[in-house]
Amino acid sequence: MINLLVLKETVDSEKRVALVPDEIKKYLDLGFKVTIEKDAGIEAGFLNEDYRKQNADITQNVKKSVRESDIIIKIQKPELNIIKEMKAGTILMGLLSPKKNSSENTFYNKKKISAFALENIPRITRAQDKDVLSSQSNLSGYKAVLDAAHEYSKSFPMMMTAAGTVTPAKVLVLGAGVAGLQAIATAKRLGAIVSAYDVRLAAKEEVESLGAKFIVFDEEVLKKSQTEGGYAKEMSADYKKKQEKALEEAIPENDIIICTALIPNKTAPRLIPKKIIEKMKPESVIVDLAVETGGNAELSEVDKIVKYKGVKIIGYSNYPSRIAGDSSTLFSKNVFNFIKILVDNESKKIKINLEDEIIVKTLISHQGKLMNL
């Protein structure tokens, strides 16, 4: 029997849980024993009793449960005192941020823990149902538009009344990845006029399929701006100058700017300098989903709404946690799909196949060796 433990999140802003009750039966069918730390799901709307009804155990003795577990799952990295309790060979998975957490990496290695950083799951077809970043980004894009609508002093759709016509809001989405595309779709559903910009020309067709206008100013450069993994490359200094000029014209024409532009493992590109914000209309709103990695907007601050010359700049961190119930459900499904490839169908035992691309690219520590750092 494989012992699976789900730990409660300890970061104040983290309301998600790594396993929801509806997914437990899948683990039991694989021969797992499932244990949940007491109140692990309560912030996401899942009670201890909900887990008990699905035949999971609830534990208050966390350190003992950690020592007895074969697989431990968590959204954010565990604390060092928890890592120290893990036995050699324990499998740990979550959003471990390995490039930021060298102390934890050292302990994974020292304790011979097999640690999987789920944010490193490759963008390949076979990994789509395991891709936690995509599922969480989808909800982030949706919630970002709702936050913008809440802070914006006018309506999103056009309205025709006896007193006159209300014009629709104009929304510009910067970055047309998973979060950006969902932001486009949500803004369109709310009745806004939507346009989008991305350095990847490949995003043009997706943007236009959602009924938005795609902004292009250097098509030849854009053809070469995407990595093999589907992410945006860092652009040249010359391109950045052209980009800033184009955005300096486009941004002030819009009422809402949703920033989603990220470069993996690097500081977010600065797309909206202060001088552009100064040209925006009063009551305009910027939502900066990249605020935790430096921000796309110059004046954005983590977990604050900055007001500058009538413009509101929203810098909430951890957007998936702001819609914790659904984020937890999708994360939980992704994790189960990942764990399935670690379990041998015949023996029902854990088997880490180092020839599997998904496993190899996600592992950061295994058998006393650090990887992918």
d(CA 62, CA 253): 54
Active site residue 243: no
**Helix/strand/coil for 170:** strand
Say whether both 267 and 249 belong to one domain. Answer: yes
Does the residue 328 lie in any domain? yes
185-189: long-range contacts, CB 8 A cutoff, minimum separation 24: 185/210, 186/141, 186/142, 186/145, 186/146, 187/145, 187/156, 187/256, 187/258, 188/212
d(CA 197, CA 207): 9
**Helix/strand/coil for 303:** coil
- Residue ending a domain, among 294, 317, 340, is 317
More confident residue, 226 or 328: 328
103 token code pair: 């102390």
Say whether both 76 and 210 belong to one domain. Answer: no
**Strand pairing partners for 319?**
none
Q: What local confidence, expressed as pLDDT, does residue 100 receive?
A: 85
More confident residue, 101 or 310: 310
Residue among 97, 231, 239, 270 flagged as catalytic: 231
Active site residue 51: no
Active site residue 155: no
Active site residue 27: no
When pLDDT is averaged across residues 12-32 and rounded to a whole number, the result is 96
Say whether both 149 and 276 belong to one domain. Answer: yes
Count how many domains the chain has. Answer: 2
Say whether both 283 and 336 belong to one domain. Answer: no
Assess whether pLDDT exceeds 90 at residue 326.
yes
Active site residue 123: yes
Assess whether pLDDT exceeds 70 at residue 131.
yes
Say whether both 142 and 287 belong to one domain. Answer: yes
Assess whether pLDDT exceeds 70 at residue 253.
yes
Say whether both 209 and 333 belong to one domain. Answer: no
Does the residue 125 lie in any domain? no
Torsion of CA 246, 251, 254, 256, to 10 degrees: 140
List of residues 6+ apart from 52 with CB closer than 8 A: 58
CATH code at position 170:
3.40.50.720
Say whether both 199 and 284 belong to one domain. Answer: yes
Say whether both 271 and 227 belong to one domain. Answer: yes
List of residues 6+ apart from 35 with CB closer than 8 A: 3, 4, 5, 6, 56, 57, 58, 59, 65, 69
pLDDT band at residue 225, thresholds of 50, 70 and 90?
Answer: low
Say whether both 116 and 139 belong to one domain. Answer: no
Residue among 128, 209, 236, 367 flagged as catalytic: 128
Q: Please give the residue range of the domain that contains residue 330.
A: 2-120+324-367
Does the residue 373 lie in any domain? no
Say whether both 242 and 141 belong to one domain. Answer: yes
The residue type found at 343 is V
User: Computed over its alpha carbons, how large is the radius of gyration of the chain?
Assistant: 22
When pLDDT is averaged across residues 346-368 and rounded to a whole number, the result is 93
Assess whether pLDDT exceeds 90 at residue 67.
yes
Residue among 123, 218, 226, 308 flagged as catalytic: 123
Q: List the beta strands (DSSP E) in the chain.
A: 2-6, 32-37, 57-59, 71-76, 91-95, 114-117, 159-161, 164-166, 170-174, 193-197, 213-214, 256-259, 285-288, 305-308, 311-314, 363-366, 369-370
Residue among 69, 76, 114, 134 flagged as catalytic: 134
Does the residue 165 lie in any domain? yes
Say whether both 170 and 261 belong to one domain. Answer: yes
Does the residue 35 lie in any domain? yes
| pLDDT tens digits, one per residue of 146-199 | 999 999 999 999 999 999 999 999 999 999 999 999 999 999 999 999 999 998
Does the residue 372 lie in any domain? no
pTM: 0.91
Does the residue 221 lie in any domain? yes
More confident residue, 267 or 24: 24
Assess whether pLDDT exceeds 60 at residue 223.
no
Does the residue 129 lie in any domain? no
Say whether both 182 and 313 belong to one domain. Answer: yes
